[in-house]
Copies of this chain bind each other. A is one copy, B any other.
Amino acid sequence: MSHEFPADSVGLVQPQTLHFDQPLALACGRTLNCYDLVIETYGTLNADRSNAILICHALSGHHHVAGYHTADDKKPGWWDSAIGPGKPIDTNKFFVIGLNNLGGCHGSTGPGSTNPDTGKPYGPDFPIVTVQDWVNSQVRLADHFGIDQWAAIVGGSLGGMQALQWSIDFPERLRHCLVIASAPKLSAQNIAFNEVARQAISRDIEFHDGHYYGEDTVPRTGLMLARMLGHITYLSADGMREKFGRELRSGNLSFDFTPQFEVESYLRYQGERFSTEFDANTYLLMTKALDYYDPAAEYGDCLATAVAQTRCKFFVAAFTTDWRFAPERSREIVDALIDAGKKVSYAEIAADHGHDAFLIPIPRYMEVFRAYMTQVDADVPALTTGEGN
């Protein structure tokens, strides 16, 4: 069937669910006794398991990072632009794992999963998980595959925070850390936007204090509003001007409240679609993981101290019109790494696409990404059997 897909696609892929039985202690003080992680893999793990790359996802991401689920699937995984044969993350060379994080709504254990203690969905009783919790769960995933050291851990946005945290908490377990369109912690403005989204969801009459699973409903309005708002922060003002301008759907002002400007109907469509696809409790958890992320907090609020113990090389990239996580935020990471004497490559990519740019195959971005991944590949140790690299 793969002949139906582009030549540089990983083609047809299938998720798999891994069950973990070892209790996972969480930052909040609670413990998950067991949990599932749903994953996808692309490419082939080499004999000494040294060519593995972990892809960490952002707020609304999941395990389906590249390829297609069915022969007539029109839409590939969310980062298909960067992952596949010959692409920056070249599946001819690397073994790539994408996962859905704990607390997610795409198959991994989360608020919609059955709480073994009650036999009902966790709902709002699912613990608030942190970036560090996710990293700890991903360590189990590495162990499951016998991967002692990742060739690279790669993430954009909230995914970049996970990659960065890996480098701090498990310095020996990755050779490269790629932090794209991310930040070392949220700003007050970032938190404020998240709080509006959370209020929109939790005050939706269909939210039922998070127990909507049993009510045969979902807080669609709240999720729609959260997504509309999120979407504005993912795009740049310039990008929106270029994409929509002040264009009217019909020629004239209607003097009513139907959507008139193109940008209005676009946002409504995006919001409504999302509200049927995503879980509200998961959205709340993901925004909280973002708000809480602050790796320097344990190190006297000094990021350079936090990264002092890292052993990997770093690639940090930012996009000029990203105002959710502006280039200055990436430069905070770069500066801390330099202060700590670490090896870091930094690319600031000119792009009109705002925060979303990290998902878009902008030529200059793909070039530097590819160039860096060539170094990642060169750093894959030659197999003792001579087959490697």
Contact = CB atoms under 8 A, between A and B. Distances in A.
Interface of A: 27-29, 127-128, 185-189, 191-193, 195-196, 198-200, 202-205, 221, 224-225, 228-229, 232, 235, 237, 240-241, 243-246, 253, 255-257, 259-261, 263-264, 267-268, 271, 284, 288, 291-292, 294, 323
A31 to B, nearest CB: 13
A261 B191 contact: yes
B228 A189 contact: no
B195 A267 contact: yes
With most chain B CB atoms within 10 A of its CB, the pick from A195, A229, A245, A259 is A195
Nearest to A261: B191
Contacts of A187: 237, 240-241, 246
A263 B192 contact: yes
Given A186-B246, A189-B237, 17 more contacts: A28-B255, A185-B246, A187-B246, A188-B243, A188-B261, A191-B261, A192-B232, A192-B264, A195-B264, A195-B267, A198-B257, A199-B224, A199-B228, A200-B225, A225-B225, A229-B229, A246-B294
Copies per complex?
2
Given A200-B200, A253-B292, A188 B263 contact: yes
A196 B228 contact: yes
A205 B206 CA distance: 10
Contacts of A185: 246
B284 A240 contact: no
A188 B246 contact: yes
Contacts of A200: 200, 225
A87 to B, nearest CB: 32
A200 B225 CA distance: 7
A255 B199 contact: no
A74 to B, nearest CB: 27
Contacts of A198: 257
Contacts of A284: 257
Contacts of A191: 246, 261, 263-264
A215 to B, nearest CB: 15
Given A228-B195, A228-B196, A256 B128 contact: yes
A265 to B, nearest CB: 9
With most chain B CB atoms within 10 A of its CB, the pick from A188, A244, A246, A268 is A188
A258 B188 CA distance: 16
Nearest to A205: B205
A193 B224 contact: no
Contact of A29 (B255, B292, B323): B255
Contact of A232 (B196, B267, B288): B196
Given A187-B240, A245-B188, A255 B128 contact: yes
A261 B185 CA distance: 13
Contacts of A245: 188
Contacts of A246: 185-188, 191, 294
Nearest to A256: B128
A370 B42 CA distance: 67
A127 B255 CA distance: 8
Contacts of A253: 292
A264 to B, nearest CB: 5
Nearest to A262: B188
A44 to B, nearest CB: 40
The 4 A-B pairs with the shortest beta carbon distances in the complex, nearest first, are A28-B255, A188-B240, A188-B244, A189-B237
